[in-house]
Structure 1
Amino acid sequence: MTSSLQRMHRFTPALALLALLGGCASGPFQRGDGAPSGHVNVDAIPDAVPRHEPLSKYGNPPTYIVHGKSYTTLNSSQGFIERGIASWYGTKFHGRRTSSGETYNMYAMTAAHKTLPLPTYVEVTNLDNGRRVIVKVNDRGPFHDGRIIDLSYAAAIKLGINTHGTGRVEIRAIDPSRPQAHRLAQQRVQPTAPADAVKTAPDAASDQHLYLQVGAFNSRLNAENLRRRLAQMAGSPVHIFPGSDPTQPVYRVRIGPLASDQEAQQLASRLVHQGITNTSVVID
């Protein structure tokens, strides 16, 4: 990803907007990024408290382009739920400007997302250990393939994904007008177990599987052609997942289940040589 930290007076308004939309880092995958030195007591850091805020003036264009790929900003976060791989970002971007115009603080409970309106409050659940946090989405990213959200360093520690760099998560948008959203935020401040004491929560992800999605088609025939093409070279089963809306048919071609995010990324790298570049890691 690119950062949004160039000073505004160096750019025309249009170029400044593009710089802001460059968004955050891709967590520890960015050269020079990482964790701060010393211990961070995340027990003393409260979750974000959802509240009504005006939309960011610069962070919500209808569409924007990063690294040659176009993204469409959602008009609303109502009912938004997504599962996938989370990463985090830290020291390299601490103190720099986010896409919303706020300053990135790796010790605050914030996050970056490619399409949610800025700001949006979301509850993030680690599907492998059951931990949950509430964060404020105030930045754009991650623009590393296969990631759905970039968490602040503090949020990553509270979820227990800071050591491995990534983790399987579910994110749910919160409506600030609902009183229970505020109670969730207040009740979420709990002592956090040490990283080496994290256990897999019972049934937290027992029915969830990780796939590499390699295409989505309106035509079943096109999806079947890609499935047959990949069947001999993927090394893992290739499936077609039909959409649930009969009025708007969609057929998603996915490889898996896969054992880990790392396996998915290695497979995605191999597929690039076959001309398949628009892949994403999904949990279903």
Structure 2
Amino acid sequence: MSFRKLFSLKCFQACFLVTLLVLGGCSTSRYGPGTPTIQKHAKRGYNKPYKIKGRRYHPRPQYEYSQTGKASYYGGRDVFHGRKTSTGERFDKNGMTAAHKTLPLPSIVRVTNLKNGRSIKLRVNDRGPFVKGRIIDVSEKASRLLGFHHDGVVNVRVECMVAESMMLARNYNPNNCNPYTAHGHHTRRHGHTLRETVGTTLKRVARKPAPAAFSNNSTIKITKPPPKPKRFQTYSTANTNAISGVLPKGTYLQVGTYSSQLNAQNFAQKVATRMRVPCKAIPVQEGGNSYHRVLMGPMKNKEATTKMLHELYIRNVKDAFVVVQN
């Protein structure tokens, strides 16, 4: 090989290496400096590049984000209600959640309606919207709070809350996450809290004046005492062998518990339709906490109860068990 050809080959190799280094530097600084995603979530599949409708998306490795664009909402026709999101959470159209194409999952954003100034915080736990010109999809409940439910689409500003997103990511558990708060904490109050809703104003309710002294013409209203909380006795989770003799009166199969009365009633109606057995949602108070049991029944005998437990297990309701209302 001549000296000229060898020199040209070496120059070509050097140029090729320089090009690779430049491209590599560009790819690592795609979004610029910022707070990196929590490590345990950065390695998950929902924060890896993905392809939808022939287009490839690269999730952001940093939390810093602020953008103005169009927002829409999903879940209005129950198409996505109850389905799993990208992080594994169950989507609830009445929750305080949102979907974004590239933000780190999970994260917390503040969404501001530029038309009326309303602003709320939402938890981003899904990918989307994959419609040209839109930057975020919010739940139906969030669209009502932001005031664009009837319009469908509105111009918004989306800002990622870095400190709150990092705190959420450190303690995030998709299987035990309250959909009714942006931070996912379980609280007695459902829906948005005062800290999460910036654009709404709460009016103080004036205290009622003290009752005047009784007179001859005054009447006394007698109110009924509050009903006693319903008590339940739990038996075996797998069969009815723990019950001796015949089934006592008021025997049910508990198929779920919900903090929201609406969700409990919807699930009870769905179970009753599919299993063709009466099903109802019962409010319960235990230890200062209130929730709703979804009960199927009442059950007539042990054989029918055991058969129903088996059918529920086949339909992926594996945590059903026998309870008796005292």
TM-score for both structures, normalised by structure 2: 0.39
Larger radius of gyration: 2
Greater RCO, CA 8 A, separation 6+: 1
